[in-house]
Amino acid sequence: MAVVRSLVSLVCPAIAKIIISTYLKNRSLEKVVEENILDKLKNFISNPSNQEKTQRSIERIAKQIVEKMQPIFDLEAASISQDSRTAVQLEIAETLRRAEVTSELLMSLSLDVKSLTVNLRNAYPEACKHLNRNETALYERMLEEVSRGIIEVAPQLKDFTLAATTESLQRLEKIIEYSQTSQEQSQREKLSLIKNIEMSSSANYRSPI
């Protein structure tokens, strides 16, 4: 009987690939990660078309996680150089490339962000060896945000296996659309809150003492 794995196991390498392709622009390393994703897919999906569709879907989820992390990264990294930013992004990508995160692992961690952060850190304990204090703090902060993103999407993926069918791929697309809509709504709510705070501050400033 074939071993069944959840699509959750593809999220970490997919996030690593997005970070590498978007920020590091390292095509050779991106290719290594992509081959790793394809190898996992080939073990459980014989149809090349379904392999490609599943890969694209998972990478769309990974991209949403990375995009959600980006404003936090920009804020936290405001005081460090571009070289330091690149060093941190490289170590995060390498950590995720080495990590083995499955539905079973997440359940054993009770979907706890801090516990998953520790698990990811342990996947690549040498990550901070060449980072300075500020870079290490940024690495730890972003690793926590990655963990949060994985845990948020994991419950939606836990029932999907790599034995993909047309029906399951269609359901996966619906999950991606829902996730993206929720993310956009959350962003609009944050912008609205900021605007209200600014208007309130402006009104208070104009009020007579």
What's the mean per-residue pLDDT of the chain?
82
Tell me what the mean pLDDT of segment 12-29 comes to: 95
pLDDT in tens, 139-178: 999 999 999 999 998 877 765 554 444 455 455 566 566 5
Q: What's the pTM value of the predicted model, to 2 decimals?
A: 0.76
pLDDT at 4: 38
pLDDT at 164: 42
Contact by Cβ (8 Å): 116, 156: no
In whole angstroms, what is the distance from residue 181 CA to residue 62 CA? Answer: 15
pLDDT at 48: 87
In which band, very low, low, confident or very high, does the pLDDT at 125 lie, cut at 50, 70 and 90? Answer: very high
Q: For the chain, give every domain's residue range.
A: 7-206
pLDDT in tens, 75-102: 999 999 999 999 999 999 999 999 999 8
Contact by Cβ (8 Å): 157, 7: yes
